[in-house]
Amino acid sequence: MNELFRLAVEASPVGMIVVDAHGTILFVNSEIQRLFGYREGELAGAVVDVLLPDAAKPHHAAMRAGYMRSPEQRPMGRGRDLLARRKDGSVFPVEVGLNPIRSPDGMLVMCSVLDITARKEAAERLSAANTQLERLNREKDRLLAVVSHDLRAPAATISILVDNLLVDDERRPTDLQRQLLGAIHRQVQRQIRLINDLLDHSRIESGQLTLDKQAVDLRAVLSEAIADMAGLAARFGRRLEARLGQTDICLELDEARVVNAVTNLVTNAIRFARSRVCVSLALAEEDVTVEVADDGPGVPEDELQTIFLPQQRGPSAAPVDGLGLGLAIVKGIVEAHGGRADARNVIDACGAIGGAVFRVVLPLR
């Protein structure tokens, strides 16, 4: 064999075997000797089948003959896991490449052999870790759902009981009692909101958010929701404007959930606004857009892309009445309707941020 060729093959970090048309080994490099546990000179002249596990031997002669009829450069055993056998009988996974060489002495085949034990083990570890993670994630979702569910029932009961006390005409509560009951009521309501968010979030994460769709007039629905938030806006000293247009916009949606999504955006906007929040509605051919704009500090430009992910609460917001799940829930609800949500900043003539605009687009059909 050409000396230069021999030197090149010998220098390869990959195991190399050269066989003739009958599968007789003409040459192996030292990497092959190392991989298979043979000494120098031991393999030359042997049939290449000695490197195969016993189970693969019976078919190999026919396969070799088949390859020789139409030799081409290709991996061996496409789609199958290949095993090789060391001199001591132990077996290991390999990747084998076949390269025909038309030499003056006839057709030869150069096989490259790569020991893929480490790669296989890493893939198996990764897959096991993945399975474990998926299991844990499912378990977390299940726990979250169970806990939220069980927490919500007593909270709802407390809320009703406090309501009853507040309207108890016979034993009129004193002013102090009324004040305290009012505080309990607000706290319980807040707790219920957080629990509902947790429940919605776990449903969205596990793809189990089911919509209760009905034909509604979005303009009327939003108008009502915005009226409900007037008190909150007033408490923060913000003006809450609605530009909803004059036309009814009828579409099929889960009213409670869409109201929840818009309420989330408006609540955030009220929190961040300097003086005003504006909710507008724009109808297009195929969809309808709800925009919630404020004149607050806006969203840092590098957070615009990730702001709809859970727990993306900026440090500016602390301490706040939320879990940092609000926008993730908005996105989940909107996407469940086949729509999309995004955020941008209003940039004024001087290039400064003049507030944030959160947008929800819902398909009409």
Ligand X SMILES: Nc1ncnc2c1ncn2[C@@H]1O[C@H](COP(=O)(O)OP(=O)(O)O)[C@@H](O)[C@H]1O
Nearby residues of 247 by Cβ (< 8 Å), 6 or more positions away: 219, 283
Query: 100: which DSSP letter?
Result: E
Applying the rule CB under 6 A, the residues between 245 and 264 that interact with ligand X are: 264
**314 touches ligand X by CB under 6 A:** yes
Query: 110: which DSSP letter?
Result: E
C-alpha–C-alpha distance, residues 318 and 68, integer Å: 73
Angle subtended at Cα 294 by Cα 288 and Cα 300, rounded to the nearest 5 degrees: 100
- Stretch touching ligand X by CB under 6 A, among 40-48, 215-223, 226-234, 305-313: 305-313
Applying the rule CB under 6 A, the residues between 285 and 304 that interact with ligand X are: 294, 296, 298-299
**322 touches Mg ion by CB under 5 A:** yes
**296 touches Mg ion by CB under 5 A:** no
**156 touches ligand X by CB under 6 A:** no
Q: Which of 327, 341, 360, 362 binds ligand X (CB under 6 A)?
A: 327
3-state secondary structure of 87: coil
C-alpha–C-alpha distance, residues 339 and 365, integer Å: 10
- Stretch touching Mg ion by CB under 5 A, among 65-73, 236-244, 308-316, 323-331: 323-331
- Stretch touching Mg ion by CB under 5 A, among 64-72, 199-207, 221-229, 318-326: 318-326
Tell me which residue of 258, 270, 261 sits closest to 321, measured CA to CA: 270
**263 touches Mg ion by CB under 5 A:** no
**332 touches ligand X by CB under 6 A:** no
Under a CB-based contact definition with an 8 Å cutoff, are residues 272 and 296 in contact?
yes
Q: Which of 56, 181, 268, 360 binds Mg ion (CB under 5 A)?
A: 268
**339 touches Mg ion by CB under 5 A:** no
Token representation of residue 296:
């607050």
**269 touches ligand X by CB under 6 A:** yes
Token representation of residue 106:
């006839």
Count of CB atoms situated within 10 Å of the CB of 42: 15
Nearer to Mg ion, 38 or 308 (CB): 308
**260 touches Mg ion by CB under 5 A:** no
**313 touches ligand X by CB under 6 A:** yes
Q: Which of 19, 194, 307, 360 binds ligand X (CB under 6 A)?
A: 307
CA 282 to each of CA 89, 246, 360: distance values in angstroms, whole numbers, following the listed order = 74, 11, 11
Tell me which residue of 334, 332, 329 sits closest to 361, measured CA to CA: 334
The site for Mg ion (CB under 5 A) is made up of 268, 322, 326
The site for ligand X (CB under 6 A) is made up of 264, 268-269, 272, 294, 296, 298-299, 307, 312-314, 316-317, 320, 322-327, 356
